[in-house]
Structure 1
């Protein structure tokens, strides 16, 4: 009996031990599965255009419609900028007294009833889940009342201006905003939209530009290393509550975001992972000086005036991909309306011209569209700024209708199904290039319904190394 009892106890112990082994294996598999799921869901930094779903395209059908878009073909020279700094990005500090100025020309002339509103968006430029009265001080819809008729130009137009914030409309909270202008108090008739930013600087940002460690891109890319101090915020989970976007030369099409901090040291978030935040360095922007249609400047081949129309032919361009870097002061893709003749106001005295561009290459690019690109094209790739190959001249050709001023631009390729502009074959990349980087830090409070822009700083690849 004692022997049988011992056998029974031994059997129970054996089964218990076996069950323990089974449960250990189960827990081990669950643990490994959890780790795998976490790794699969971990997102590396991405460029803004990589988020967009590829849209099948045919010839001349590529059409980027961004929050910086002009919907009416008769609206030209749309410019939104800090009122005292026309070459800077439209970014102001909340309740600081800083203002933005919007200017645009209506080539149909006369006086029209243009209205405007502002829309609060999250970091990804999707509208925030808030009512207008929660983010607007004043009225949500207002009429643009400032306009002037052109004076001397061959191309007649009406120039409209707007200053924000104003007594009728002002942003009430930090974040991303879209300024929307539309006709006849009807929001379904938009004529233009423009992005602008409002920051409260609750977070402090410090950073610098370095050469990447990766030998494959050491000479052609630039890397942004930075840290964010969030001590002025109630941050419990920085991985969920903090978002960072980095812009190169104020462009959103190649912005990098979804960046996870490398280290969290108390309230300080450090972003310096080896392969994060790396941008193709490009080269200095191309340029054309159109500040006078009476002078043939360095980049202008000839100017014709026929039937009260001005036609400018720019000197032919070609690939710079294999050319060594040449330092030249540029305006990082922006433009400014100016006139060389003294005593004139470019807003109402500046004329317009059809400007012909050409890009010389022995053969057309295979399975790719060529675009001229910059603020002069609203940083979009559309049929209006596409160049087409002419076998007779062995060059891509296209034209833009531009006002007297000074313009930066580049050429880039877009392949069907892609939403990323590729400038490497047309411009090349060089580490020494001067570029401007804007770091934007967004914060979502616990239970909050919108992203707040709590930090913004600008770094220069030359002065902030």
Structure 2
């Protein structure tokens, strides 16, 4: 089951992306809590943990570095020496070979900052992994956030001001206090990004406050930060390949592992139904082993969906953090008109996975997260608030505030 890498010479995108077909199970989070948002405080003991598997089965000379970016993920006009201390790149030396698995792989890990690479400035950083010290041979990229906390943020989740959306949407009202920061023009120097469940494509950038009162900026205009609540994520559990778990119809084990999931149907119904989820996250695990990092196996996961839409109207995708919510050929379903079903299979490591279905109509080509999943105000979601500040005359943006709020845990 060797997967061949893509062509070496590539240009990177400033997004969470994987550039080689043999790279799987990429995790990037604050090391203090598995699956957490990848934000750390500047000049603290916080670290980002990055891990991934290389399914080629042999070790490679992988290197990594970080690049400072602005709030819209464009490269800052800074040289690496201005935002990095110690070295400008480092080699990935922490790797282990898989043990007792059908699919052979090499597991890599690194924690950042460390004694070789550490940031001098707060802000957005793109973490880049590449081969042979050559950034023209990219392996993966991940967005991480380094915060120099200087602003106190308070926020609340309320129903939409639009009466027609009160049952489906969640509105975020917030304010923060910039006392102690020399802000010349709060209507121009401060920007605040609100993001749902760490999904960059489901976000709103506030470029101006609704009004200013002393050193407090208020963001509560009726037309801003109004998000469809969506639905709780679907999930499946493959921490064991010996027994069928919830949502698993059948497991096949031979020269490879295959897991057939139960057929899914549309959940865009009249009412909200409580289900516990991980807000789109996924967690690697193996109940039958000792160290899931190297003894969790891979299985070919078979999804099926009972069609309510046909390919003439658009395309169906399955998304979650396990595939960076990507809408590409590897996550697009094929349609079987004899069974009126959509089908897709993909290779995933053992664990617990959240996922959802996205419909992309041919008429708009814009992802529709509601048609097949529904949207409800009661849905439990995390919202991340990131406060960016560009001092007068500065060549970069600082990240001076970060807060996560939950719609249930007030």
Q: What TM-score bracket applies, with the shorter chain setting the length?
A: over 0.9
Deviation for aligned residue 1:417 = 8.0
Give the corresponding residue for 1:463.
409
Task: Name which of 322, 326, 336 aligns with 1:376.
Answer: 322
1:122 equivalent to 2:73? Answer no
Q: Tell me the equivalent position of 1:222.
A: 170
Of 218-227 and 134-143, deviating more is: 134-143
Higher fraction of strand: 2
Query: Is it true that 1:445 corresponds to 2:383 in the alignment?
Result: no
How far residue 323 of structure 1 moved from its aligned partner, in angstroms, is 4.8
Secondary structure in 1 matching 2:195? strand
Q: Deviation of residue 278 (structure 1)? A: 0.3
Structure 2 residue aligned with 1:325: 272
Please state how far the C-alpha of 1:176 moved relative to its aligned partner.
0.4
User: CA distance change for structure 1 residues 242 and 417 in 2, over 3 Å: closer, same or farther?
Assistant: farther
The 1:323/1:399 distance shift into structure 2, 3 A limit, reads: farther
Aligned equivalents of 1:317 and 1:348: distance in 2? 31
2:122 counterpart of 1:187: no
State the match for 1:203 in structure 2: 151
Q: Could you give the per-residue CA deviations for residues 44-77 of structure 1, whole angstroms, max 9, x where no partner exists?
A: xxxxxxxxxxxxxxxxxxxx96610000000000
Runs (4+) off by over 6 Å? none
Deviates more, 1:162-171 or 1:375-384: 375-384
Q: Which residue of 2 aligns with 1:394?
A: 340
Q: Which structure has the larger Rg over C-alpha atoms?
A: 1
Give the match's secondary structure for 1:103: strand
| Partner deviation per Cα, 1:218-272 (whole Å, 9 max, x = no partner) | 1000000000111131111112110110010110011111342111011100001
Contact in 1 for aligned 2:359/2:369 (Cα 8 Å): yes
The answer (yes or no) to whether the contact 1:259–1:276 under 8 Å persists in 2 is no
Which blocks of at least 5 consecutive residues in structure 2 are unaligned?
1-11
For 1:49, the equivalent position in structure 2 comes to none
* Contact 1:253–1:420, Cα closer than 8 Å, also in 2: no
Return the match for 2:248 from 269, 288, 300: 300
- Equivalent of residue 353 in structure 1, options 299, 313, 322: 299
Secondary structure at the counterpart of residue 433 of structure 1: coil
Whose helix fraction is larger, Structure 1's or Structure 2's?
A: 1
Q: Distance in 2 between matches of 1:393 and 1:125?
A: 44
Which of 19, 23, 26 is the aligned partner of 1:71?
19
Aligned to 1:406, what secondary structure does the other structure show?
A: strand
3-state SS, counterpart of residue 162 of structure 2: coil
What's the offset of the Cα at 1:422? 1.0
Q: RMSD of aligned C-alpha atoms?
A: 1.5
**Inter-partner Cα distance in structure 2 for 1:168 and 1:144:** 11
Kindly report which structure 2 residues correspond to 1:46-445, keeping only aligned pairs within 5 A, or say none. Answer: 67-306=15-254, 308-341=255-288, 343-364=289-310, 366-416=312-362, 420-445=366-391
SS in 2 for 1:130: coil
1:421-441 deviations in Å (ceiling 9; x for gaps): 211111000111100000111
**For 2:164, what is the secondary structure of its paired residue?**
coil
Structure 1 portions without partners, runs of 5+: 1-63
CA separation in 2, counterparts of 1:162 and 1:386? 32
Residue 92 of structure 1: how far off its partner (Å): 0.4
Native 8 Å contact 1:245 1:258 kept in 2: yes
Deviation at 1:381, TM superposition (A): 1.0
Within 2, Cα distance between the matches of 1:235 and 1:287?
45
Q: How far off is 1:81 after superposition?
A: 1.1
Distance 2:39 2:309 in 1: 43
Displacement of 1:127 in angstroms is 0.6
In structure 1, how many angstroms separate the alpha carbons of the residues matched to 2:305 and 2:109?
A: 35
Q: Give me the whole-angstrom Cα distance separating, in 2, the residues matched to 1:147 and 1:229.
A: 44
TM-score, length-normalised on structure 1? 0.84
The answer on whether the counterparts of 1:199 and 1:453 sit within 8 Å (CA) in structure 2 is yes
Residue-pair matches, total: 399
Show the counterpart of 1:35: none
Instruction: Tell me how far 1:359 sits from its aligned partner.
Output: 1.1
